[in-house]
Amino acid sequence: MTDSDDSYLLDSQVGYLLRLANQRHASIFQSHTLEGLTPTQFAALVRIAELGKCSQNRLGRLAAMDVATIKGVVDRLKQKGFTI
């Protein structure tokens, strides 16, 4: 790319705009939730509220998390006293 080639503008790239939106979302999320609760943990809690008692496998599938991730999320939620 040369100085005169302005066909690639960062501000018009979907990936860049999504990252900016995600950063803004994370900032707003943190200002409205409990200290230390991550968006991933919040998503799991919302699914638990929707589903009631369910297996970690099902929770992971419905919260779009793999087996290893959902196990860690549930373990941390237990440590924080959110789940049993």
Q: Can you give the pLDDT at residue 4? A: 58
Q: Can you give the pLDDT at residue 2? A: 58
Instruction: Kindly report the three-state secondary structure assignment for every residue of 51-78.
Output: HCCCCHHHHHHHCCCCHHHHHHHHHHHH
- Which domains are seen in the chain, by residue range? 10-79 (1.10.10.10)
**Which backbone phi and psi does 38 adopt, to 5 degrees?**
-90, 160
Q: Can you give the pLDDT at residue 63? A: 95
What is the per-residue pLDDT across 18-74, written as a single tens digit (0 to 9) for each? 999 999 998 999 899 887 899 899 999 999 999 999 999 999 999 999 999 999 999
For 23, other C-beta atoms within 10 Å of its C-beta total 10
Q: Look at the chain and count its residues.
A: 84
Q: Does residue 83 surpass a pLDDT of 80?
A: no
Distance CA 57, CA 84 (A): 16
Grade residue 3 by pLDDT with cuts at 50, 70 and 90.
Answer: low
Distance CA 21, CA 23 (A): 5
